[in-house]
C-alpha cells in the first residue's frame, strides 16, 4: 500500500507536497519521494525512510517549481531497496515522472513485451516502473511533438487495455501538466480538490481526502473507475472516462484498516463505517454469546480499532477503556517484514495499563487478524498483568487469502485463518473466546455510506478477485515472493531483475 499526491499550483509546491506526504505517512513508511518541475527541468529527491528522514532543508530548497508529485511507499513484496523508491522517471517522450499505488497483476508479462516489442528497459522489480513505461510508450506511439489533452487521454485508454490489476496514479509530463488516473475497477482510492488563490485556481490529487482538506483545499470528488484528470501548465482542468468497460469494486480493507478515520473514500466516511462495524459486531456478540456475555471491559488495540471498539462497547453497555499505551516511534507491525521483527516490535510498541486488566474479563478489539503474531503477543501481555479472561474480537472477517492488489497480506500459509476454523484460530492465539465480523455486516458497514457501490473487493476474505485474472499459478508465484523466507533472502539485495529477455 502506498500514498500518492500531485499538486498543480500557482506558487512553489514543495512544502505542500511534504505536508501532504506526512498526512499520508500511514500508507507507507519504507520510502518517500518528491519531484517538482520548473522551466522544463525536473528536481527529484527520494530515498528509503519516513518523510521526516528523507527530506531536509537542503533537499527542500532544491525542489523548486509550481507543479509536483509525491509518494510514500511500503514494499508489497518485502524489498526495501531504495532503487524502488518513487516517483519513477523516464526521459522519452517529453520526460515523464510517475507515482503509483496498487499492483499490476500482469506486470511480469508486460515487462517482457516492453523489452521485446517496445524496446524499453525495466531496471527494477517494481510494477510502477512497468506502468510508467507502458504509458510512456503509448504516448510516444502517437507521434506528437506537442501532445494535447486528447492525446494524453488516448494514452491512458491504451494503458487500461494493456494493464490489469489495481492502480491509482499521479504523473507529470514535463512542460505539459499534471495527470491522474484510476484503474477500471476503482480498487485503489484517488480523489482531487481545488482552491482559489489571488493568482488563480490550484488543484491537488491524492490518495485520501484528508491530504486535501489538511492543506486548505476543497474536495471536489473521487475519480471514477477508469477516469483520468489532467491539469495543463496554464491551469486548465480536463477529465475523461478512458476505459471502455468499468465495474466499481473499491477495496474494502481501506475502511477496515488502511485509511485514516478522518478521510472520505468514494463518498464514504471511514470513521462512520468503523462505527457501524462496531455496532454490528456488538449485535453478533449478543446473538452468539448472549446478553450475559461476561465481558467487564472493552479495550482497543490502538490505533485503527478504536472507533469500532468504542461503538461496540456502547452497544454492549460495557465500559470502554484505553488499556494499552502506544509508543508512537515504532512503525506499524503490519508493514514489517519477518515474523521475528513483528513479534519483537509488539512489546516495544504497546505497554499495558495494569489496573485496566487485573481481575477482569477483557474483550480486546482489533481491526483484523492477519498472521496472528501480534494478537497472540497482546493476549499474553493482558494475561501477564492479571486479566482473568481474555476474549478477542476482530472488526473484519477471517483473512484467508492473499491480497494481489497492492496490500502486503502475505503468503496464504502465513495467514493464521487459512485452513483453520475460528475455534482453531482462537486456540492458536491463546484467547478464551474469539469472534469475527460477518462479511455481509462488513460490506453493509461500508455500503451504507454510499449505496451506489454495489460491490467491494473482498478477496482477502472470500478469495474472489474482481479483476478475474487470478489463478492458482499466479498465487503460487506470489507465495514464493511474499513468504517470510523469501523476504529474508532479499533483505540485502539492491536490485533483482526479472528475466525479461527469455
Does the annotation flag 125 for ligand binding?
A: no
> Could you tell me if 456 and 250 are in contact, meaning their C-beta atoms sit under 8 angstroms apart?
yes
Q: Which three cell numbers stand for residue 440?
A: 455481509
CA distance 133 to 111: 9
CA distance 325 to 349: 8
The residue among 21, 77, 7, 76 whose CA lies nearest residue 49 is 21
Work out the angle at residue 493's Cα, subtended by the Cα atoms of residues 487 and 498, and round it to the nearest 5 degrees: 85
- Taking the C-alpha atoms of 187, 189, 190 and 194 in order, what is their torsion angle to the nearest 10 degrees? 140
What φ, ψ does residue 434 adopt, rounded to 5°?
-135, 135
> Could you tell me if 299 and 363 are in contact, meaning their C-beta atoms sit under 8 angstroms apart?
yes
The residue among 228, 70, 248 whose CA lies nearest residue 159 is 228
Neighbouring C-beta atoms of residue 320, cutoff 10 Å: 18
Beta strands in 346-412, from DSSP E residues, in sequence order: 350-352, 361-366, 389-394
User: In DSSP terms, which residues pair with 103 in a beta bridge?
Assistant: 166
Q: Which three cell numbers stand for residue 176?
A: 505539459
Terminal alpha carbon distance of the chain: 30
User: In DSSP terms, which residues pair with 173 in a beta bridge?
Assistant: 96, 177
Q: Which three cell numbers stand for residue 171?
A: 504523473
> Is 22 exposed, middle or buried, given 0-12, 13-18 or 19+ CB atoms closer than 10 A?
middle
Does the annotation flag 333 for ligand binding?
A: no
Does the annotation flag 53 for ligand binding?
A: no
Q: Which residues contact 123 (CB under 8 A, 6 or more apart)?
A: 83, 129, 495, 497
Dmax of the chain from CA atoms?
75
CA distance 122 to 264: 35
Strands 67-73 and 268-269, bridge-based pairing: unpaired
Q: Which residues contact 75 (CB under 8 A, 6 or more apart)?
A: 30, 84, 337, 408
The strand order across the sheet containing 165-173 reads: 88-90, 96-104, 165-173, 177-182, 227-232, 237-241
Helix or strand holding residue 202 (H, E): strand 200-206
Q: For residue 227, give the DSSP letter.
A: E
Residues that are catalytic = 2
CA distance 369 to 25: 22
CA distance 58 to 457: 42
Q: Which residue has the cell 501481555?
A: 381
Residue numbers in the known binding site for Mg(2+) are 304, 366-367
Residue numbers in the known binding site are 304, 366-367
Amino acid at each position: 500500500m502506498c500514498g500518492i499526491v500531485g499538486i498543480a499550483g500557482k506558487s512553489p509546491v514543495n512544502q505542500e507536497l511534504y505536508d501532504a506526504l506526512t498526512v499520508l505517512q500511514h500508507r507507507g513508511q519504507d520510502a518517500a519521494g518528491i519531484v517538482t518541475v520548473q522551466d522544463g527541468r525536473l528536481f527529484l529527491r527520494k530515498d528509503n525512510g519516513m518523510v521526516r528522514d528523507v527530506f531536509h532543508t537542503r533537499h527542500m530548497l532544491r525542489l523548486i517549481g509550481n507543479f509536483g508529485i509525491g509518494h510514500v511507499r511500503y514494499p508489497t513484496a518485502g524489498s526495501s531497496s531504495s532503487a524502488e523508491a518513487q516517483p519513477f522517471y523516464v526521459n522519452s517522450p517529453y520526460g515523464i515522472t510517475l507515482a503509483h499505488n496498487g499492483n499490476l497483476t500482469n506486470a511480469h508479462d508486460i515487462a517482457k513485451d516492453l523489452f521485446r516489442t517496445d524496446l524499453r528497459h525495466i531496471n527494477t522489480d517494481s510494477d510502477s516502473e512497468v506502468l510508467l513505461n507502458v504509458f510512456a510508450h503509448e504516448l510516444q506511439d502517437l507521434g506528437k511533438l506537442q501532445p494535447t489533452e486528447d492525446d494524453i487521454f488516448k494514452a491512458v485508454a491504451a494503458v487500461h487495455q494493456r494493464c490489469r490489476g489495481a492502480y491509482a496514479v499521479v504523473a507529470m509530463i514535463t512542460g505539459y501538466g499534471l495527470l491522474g488516473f484510476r484503474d477500471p475497477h476503482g480498487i485503489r482510492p484517488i480523489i482531487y480538490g481545488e482552491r482559489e488563490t489571488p493568482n488563480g485556481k490550484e488543484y491537488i490529487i491524492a490518495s485520501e481526502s484528508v491530504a486535501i482538506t489538511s492543506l486548505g483545499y476543497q474536495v471536489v470528488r473521487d475519480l471514477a473507475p477508469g477516469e483520468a484528470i489532467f491539469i495543463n501548465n496554464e491551469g486548465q482542468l480536463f477529465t475523461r472516462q478512458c476505459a471502455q468497460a468499468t465495474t466499481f469494486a473499491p477495496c474494502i480493507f481501506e475502511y477496515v484498516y488502511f485509511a485514516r478515520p478522518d478521510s472520505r473514500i468514494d463518498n464514504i466516511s471511514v470513521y462512520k463505517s468503523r462505527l457501524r462495524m462496531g455496532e454490528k459486531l456488538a449485535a453478533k456478540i449478543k446473538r452468539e454469546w448472549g446478553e450475559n456475555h461476561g465481558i467487564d471491559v472493552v479495550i482497543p488495540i490502538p490505533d485503527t480499532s478504536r472507533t469500532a471498539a468504542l461503538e461496540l462497547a456502547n452497544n454492549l453497555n460495557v465500559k470502554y477503556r484505553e488499556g494499552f499505551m502506544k509508543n508512537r516511534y515504532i512503525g506499524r507491525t503490519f508493514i514489517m517484514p519477518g515474523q521475528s521483527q513483528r513479534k519483537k516490535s509488539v512489546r516495544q510498541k504497546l505497554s499495558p495499563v495494569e489496573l485496566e486488566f487485573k481481575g477482569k474479563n477483557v474483550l480486546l478489539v482489533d481491526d483484523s487478524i492477519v498472521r496472528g503474531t501480534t494478537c497472540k503477543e497482546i493476549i499474553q501481555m493482558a494475561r501477564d498483568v492479571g486479566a482473568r479472561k481474555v476474549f478477542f474480537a476482530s472488526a473484519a472477517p477471517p483473512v484467508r487469502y492473499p491480497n494481489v492488489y497492492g496490500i502486503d497480506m502475505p503468503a496464504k500459509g502465513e495467514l493464521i485463518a487459512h485452513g483453520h476454523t475460528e475455534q482453531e484460530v482462537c486456540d492458536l492465539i491463546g484467547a478464551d473466546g474469539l469472534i469475527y465480523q460477518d462479511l455481509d455486516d462488513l460490506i453493509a458497514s461500508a455500503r451504507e455510506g454510499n449505496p451506489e457501490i454495489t460491490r467491494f473487493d473482498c478477496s482477502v476474505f472470500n478469495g474472489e478477485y474482481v479483476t478475474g485474472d487470478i489463478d492458482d499459478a499466479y498465487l503460487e508465484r506470489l507465495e514464493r515472493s511474499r513468504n517470510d523466507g523469501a523476504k529474508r533472502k532479499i533483505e540485502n539485495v539492491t536490485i533483482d531483475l526479472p528475466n525479461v529477455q527469455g
